[in-house]
């Protein structure tokens, strides 16, 4: 069964600090992995997308890594801002269908 597991479920960080979110998956065959940011009550917005051959990709203060051998990905947020408070969802594709993780809720406090 294709599964995507994210950790932690939630975290609280102080403004200006860094944090790292984890994503482990068992989706096969693997096509690509995306990280989405979802603000409360809004639709998800794509942050990064990585294919098998890519092991890192950045979008501003967001840096995603991918280890296709261990089937793990991380999303690193640098110098967090209050606007980073959101749910971050890891989505893995097997060419036909997307498998969504449950998300990590990040709360940034001043």
Partner 1 sequence: DTEVTQTPKHLVMGMTNKKSLKCEQHMGHRAMYWYKQKAKKPPELMFVYSYEKLSINESVPSRFSPECPNSSLLNLHLHALQPEDSALYLCASSQGTGGKNIQYFGAGTRLSVL
Nearest to 70 by CA among 55, 50, 49: 55
> Closer to partner 1 at the Cβ: 41 or 110?
41
Asked if 104 is part of the footprint of partner 1 (rule: CB under 8 A), the reply reads: no
Nearer to partner 1, 74 or 94 (CB): 94
Should residue 94 be labelled a site residue for partner 1 when binding is judged by CB under 8 A? yes
Binding mask 31-70 for partner 1 (x = CB under 8 A): xx-x-x----xxxxxx--x---------------------
Strands 32-38 and 19-25: unpaired
Q: Between 32 and 78, whose beta carbon lies closer to partner 1?
A: 32
Give the strand pairing for 104-109 and 86-93: antiparallel
**Among positions 21, 89, 106, 108, the unique one binding partner 1 when judged by CB under 8 A:** 89
CA 47 to chain centre: 8
**Cα dist. 77→7, 28, 31, 60, 84 in Å?**
14, 28, 24, 9, 8
Residues in contact with partner 1 by CB under 8 A are 31-32, 34, 36, 41-46, 49, 89, 93-98, 100-103, 105
């Amino acid at each position: 069964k294709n599964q995507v597991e994210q950790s932690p479920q939630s975290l609280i960080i102080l403004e200006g600090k860094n944090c790292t979110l984890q994503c482990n998956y068992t989706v096969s065959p693997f096509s690509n992995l995306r990280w989405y940011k979802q603000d409360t009550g809004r639709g998800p917005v794509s942050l990064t997308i990585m294919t098998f051959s890519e092991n890192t990709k950045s979008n501003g203060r967001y840096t995603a890594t991918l280890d296709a051998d261990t089937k793990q990905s991380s999303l690193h947020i640098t110098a967090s801002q209050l606007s980073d408070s959101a749910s971050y969802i890891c989505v893995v594709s097997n060419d036909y269908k997307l498998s969504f993780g449950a998300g990590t809720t990040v709360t940034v406090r001043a």
